[in-house]
């Protein structure tokens, strides 16, 4: 089973700044996903990130706000741009290998 790590594990940021979250997998995977879990809420898919192609964003999420990179089959980044307090959430990456494995998440607080 895939082992996924995320950096940072948590951060506190100021309004208007940007934060880049890293997701590292211990094996090569084709499909990676980024989710958001707002406080007390379920998981919402932000985008699908496949290596060699542009990320596919879900309704309500745009590339300018959440740019994603996928430079190789073991790594991806999600940037939360021009942050506001409403962006305070846990951000999780996951990979598909017969089922989805999830990273430990990045807990973001925007002041």
Q: How far is the CB of 101 from other proteins (least distance, A)?
A: 7
**Exposed, middle or buried by CB within 10 Å (0-12, 13-18, 19+), for 52?**
exposed
Q: Which residues contact 93 (CB under 8 A, 6 or more apart)?
A: 4, 6, 21, 23, 32, 33, 34, 35, 76, 78, 102, 103
For other proteins, the closer CB: 37 or 81: 37
C-alpha 52/C-alpha 55 separation (Å) is 9
Q: How far is the CB of 16 from other proteins (least distance, A)?
A: 27
For other proteins, the closer CB: 10 or 15: 10
For other proteins, the closer CB: 63 or 84: 63
Q: How far is the CB of 37 from other proteins (least distance, A)?
A: 9
- Chain residues that interact with other proteins, rule: CB under 8 A: 4, 31, 33, 41-45, 48, 92, 94, 96, 99-105, 107
Extract the tokens encoding 72. 């190789």
Q: How far is the CB of 96 from other proteins (least distance, A)?
A: 5
For other proteins, the closer CB: 88 or 100: 100
User: Beta-carbon neighbour count of residue 63 at 10 Å?
Assistant: 13
């Amino acid at each position: 089973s895939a082992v996924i790590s995320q950096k940072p594990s948590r951060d506190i940021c100021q309004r208007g700044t940007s934060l880049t979250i890293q997701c590292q997998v211990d094996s090569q995977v084709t499909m990676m996903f980024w989710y958001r879990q707002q406080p007390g809420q379920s998981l919402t898919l932000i985008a699908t990130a496949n290596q060699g192609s542009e990320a596919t964003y879900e309704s309500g999420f745009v590339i300018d706000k959440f740019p994603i990179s996928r430079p190789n089959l073991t790594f991806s980044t999600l940037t939360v741009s021009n942050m506001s307090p409403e962006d305070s959430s846990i951000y999780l990456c996951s990979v598909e290998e017969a089922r989805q494995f999830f990273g430990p998440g990045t807990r973001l607080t925007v002041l």
